[in-house]
Amino acid sequence: MGTESVRLIWSPDLPLPWSNTNLMTEPKAPPISPRPLALRSGPWPDYELLDSGEGRKLERFGEVRLVRPEPQAMWRPSLPRIAWSSADAVFEGAEEDERGKWRRAQGLPEAWTLRWGKVAFETRLTAFRHVGVFPEQAANWEWIAETLGDGQAGARVLNLFGYTGVASLVAASVGAEVTHVDASRKSVAWARDNSRLSGLETAPMRWVTEDARAYARREMRRGSRYTGVILDPPKYGRGPDGEVWRLYDDLSDLLQHCAAVLADDARFVLVNAYSERLTGLALAGLLAQAMVGRGGVVDWGELVLMERAQQRGVGMSFFARWRRR
C-alpha cells in the first residue's frame, strides 16, 4: 500500500530510552525499542501527496486535488504555481483545530468515495480542514491488518476515538469483531455509512457513542477482553454528556484501563497522537508503564507522508505500539 518503515539515526551523544531490563522488581514493563521508527506512507491508488511547501500541502484524494495548511512544510514547493492554483478546493484561515472555510471550485461534489485495500470510505470537506481520513494512518492500517491477518479465531478489537472508522473497518475486513467508540454522534454515523460502502454492514461491529474513558472503565468492570486496542485521542475534546478530555491529564489513566481489558493472548495496543508536545518516546513510556507484566515490546516513532517525486516527507503524528513477541 505504499508504506514502509525506516530506522532514524540516534545520536551517540544522547542516552538511549529507558527500559526495565535491569530492574530487580517484578513484574517488569516491556522493553522500549532503543531506536525510533519513521513509518512512511507513500502514495496509494486513491491518495497522494503531490507537493508541499510554504506552510501548505497539495494532495490528491481520488480525482480531487486539495490544498491544506501544513506548518511543518517550511521548504519551497517543487511544482509550478499553476499546479497549486488549479486545485479543486483550498482551505483558508484559522489556526489548527479551529474553524476555517474552503474556497471550492464549481461542481465539486459534497462527498466522494475513496478506497484503501478492502475498505471504502466517504470523503467530505469539513470546517476544521479535515476530510474524514488521515492518509498518514495507512502505515498503521497496514500494521493492524498484518497483526490480525492470520485469521485468529475470536479476535476482538476495541477502537477508542474511532472517528470515521477506517481503522475499525480495516480490522473488520480481516475477520476481527470490532467495537468502535467515539463521543461524536456525527462521526459514528459517518463510520456506519463507511461500513456500508465497504460491504461490511453485516460484519460483527458495535457502534458506540460515548466518552472513551467511561466506556473503557465499564468494559473493565464487565470483564470484557480484547485482542487489540486502538487509540487516536485528540488533544482536547468533550464527551456526549459534557465530559472533558485533556490529552496530557487523561491519557495515562486511559491506557491503564485499556491494559485491563486485554485478553491473556492479546496481540497489540496502538496509540497515536497529533500533538507537537507529545513525542513518540513519551507515548512509549506511558504505554510501557501500562503494560507491566505483559511481556512483548514497545515500538515508537513518527508517521510521515512522503511525496511521490521527492525523498522529503512531512511528519504528521507520533505513535507507540505494544505487540506480543
Task: Give residue 94's pLDDT.
Answer: 62
Residue 12's pLDDT is 42
CA distance 211 to 140: 23
As for how many domains the chain has, the answer is 1
Q: Is residue 252 part of a domain?
A: yes
pLDDT at site 325: 79
Domain that holds residue 241: 3-40+130-323
Average pLDDT, stretch 37-55?
96
66 belongs to a structural domain = no
Within-domain flag for 290: yes
CATH number, domain of 144, equals 3.40.50.150
In the numeric block, the cell 511528519 is attached to 315
Residue 258 covered by a domain: yes
The more confidently predicted of residues 151 and 321 is 321
Q: Give the pLDDT score at 21.
A: 46
DSSP label of 91? E
pLDDT of residue 24: 52
pTM of the model: 0.89
Flag whether 294 is in a domain: yes
In a domain, 228, yes or no: yes
Classify residue 102: in a domain, yes or no. no
Q: What is the pLDDT of residue 238?
A: 87
pLDDT surpasses 50 at 237: yes
In which order are the strands placed within the sheet that holds 297-306? 3-7, 37-41, 297-306, 313-323, 268-273, 228-231, 156-160, 177-182, 205-209
**In this predicted structure, what is the pLDDT of residue 95?**
61
Examine residue 79 and state whether it is found in any structural domain, yes or no. no
Model confidence band, residue 284 (pLDDT cutoffs 50, 70, 90)? very high
**What pLDDT is recorded for position 6?**
52
C-alpha cell at 242: 459534557
Average pLDDT, the chain: 90
Residue 14 has pLDDT above 90, yes or no: no
